[in-house]
């Protein structure tokens, strides 16, 4: 017997937080009765349904996607806009781990492994993410140090980051920035706080996963070793 939230998350209905919302809405049933939060069930014996459709547990899959600009990190959109799940196989159902803004490109993990997703997003594990950031203006040497010490934002000071100069033009700079938090629009807010509006943002690495030669809009399945390393990064 397992908690219903875990079963639904593993079936690809989203994170545990999202499936809790489905249960609260009363659209989940177990053996014909409306389910309750915290309820346990047997995925092999019980008749579990969402909106009347039977739930089946799929083999866990893990995709690394090089997200293009304009795609939303969601599984459902009322305006029928382009979504990242449109770029990977429809079955088994997967969901994005975390979010990248519509105008942000780069490394995005999609999976039906709800447990791993929760671990990767949990603030206690500090999974590293590396971004290539193009900003307006020339970044001052002392501001690299400020990024590495921590930037005071409205929701608290950021953890130390790693910032490296890549290249620059007359009125712009490209840097590599590695952070170990997952605050909303964190990179953009960090640079804005220093007076450098972000022009483009691309995530090159997510934990141990590197895009390598993967082109925008392309995805690949993770190897067993990569899945193992990913799980280890969510425990360290």
pLDDT in tens, 58-96: 789 999 999 999 999 999 999 999 999 999 999 888 999
How does pLDDT run across 161-190, given as a tens digit for each residue?
Answer: 999 999 999 999 999 999 999 999 999 999
Co-location of 195 and 216 in the same domain: no
Residue 101: active-site member:
yes
Question: Whole-structure pTM over 0.85, yes or no?
Answer: no
Write the secondary structure of 84-111 as one string of H (helix), E (strand) and C (coil).
Answer: HHHHCCCCCCCEECCCCCCCCEEEEEEE
Our count of domains for the chain comes to 3
**Predicted pLDDT at 196:** 98
Co-location of 133 and 175 in the same domain: yes
Co-location of 137 and 202 in the same domain: yes
Co-location of 148 and 187 in the same domain: yes
Residue 95 maps to which CATH number? 3.30.70.580
Q: What is the mean pLDDT of the chain?
A: 94
**Predicted pLDDT at 59:** 85
Residue 140 maps to which CATH number? 3.30.70.1560
Point out the catalytic residue in the list 46, 47, 86, 101.
101
The last residue of one of the domains, among 32, 54, 76, is 54
18 φ, ψ (degrees, to nearest 5): -70, -40
Give kind and range of the element (H or E) at residue 145: helix 141-149
Tell me 223's DSSP state: P
Which residues are registered as beta bridge partners of 106?
A: 67, 203
Which residues are registered as beta bridge partners of 33?
A: 30
Quick one: the chain helix, strand, coil %, rounded to 5? Answer: 25, 30, 45
- Asked if residues 96 and 86 have their Cβ atoms less than 8 Å apart, the reply is no
Point out the residues of the chain with pLDDT beneath 50: none
Domain range for residue 80?
62-123+210-233
**Predicted pLDDT at 236:** 60
Co-location of 179 and 66 in the same domain: no
User: ∠ CA(78), CA(117), CA(192), 5° rounding?
Assistant: 70
């Amino acid at each position: 017997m397992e908690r219903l939230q875990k079963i639904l998350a593993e079936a690809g209905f989203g994170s545990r937080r999202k499936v809790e919302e489905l249960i609260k809405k009363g659209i989940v049933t177990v053996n014909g009765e409306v389910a309750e939060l915290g309820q346990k069930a047997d995925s092999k014996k019980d008749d579990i349904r969402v909106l009347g459709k039977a739930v089946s547990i799929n083999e866990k899959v893990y995709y690394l996607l090089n997200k293009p600009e304009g795609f939303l990190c969601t599984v459902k959109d009322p305006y029928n806009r382009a979504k990242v799940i449109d770029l990977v196989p429809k079955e088994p159902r997967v969901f994005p781990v975390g979010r990248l803004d519509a105008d942000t490109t780069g490394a995005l993990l999609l999976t039906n492994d709800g447990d791993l997703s929760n671990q990767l997003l949990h603030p206690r594990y500090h999974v590293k993410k590396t971004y290539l950031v193009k900003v307006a203006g020339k970044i001052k040497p002392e501001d690299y140090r400020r990024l590495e010490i921590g930037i005071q934002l409205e929701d608290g000071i950021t953890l130390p980051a790693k910032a490296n100069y890549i290249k620059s033009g007359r009125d712009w700079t490209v840097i590599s920035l590695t952070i170990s938090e997952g605050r909303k629009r964190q990179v953009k807010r960090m640079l804005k706080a220093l007076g450098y509006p972000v022009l483009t943002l691309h995530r090159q690495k997510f934990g141990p996963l590197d895009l390598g030669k993967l082109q925008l809009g392309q995805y690949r399945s993770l190897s067993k070793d990569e899945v193992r390393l990913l799980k280890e990064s969510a425990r360290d």
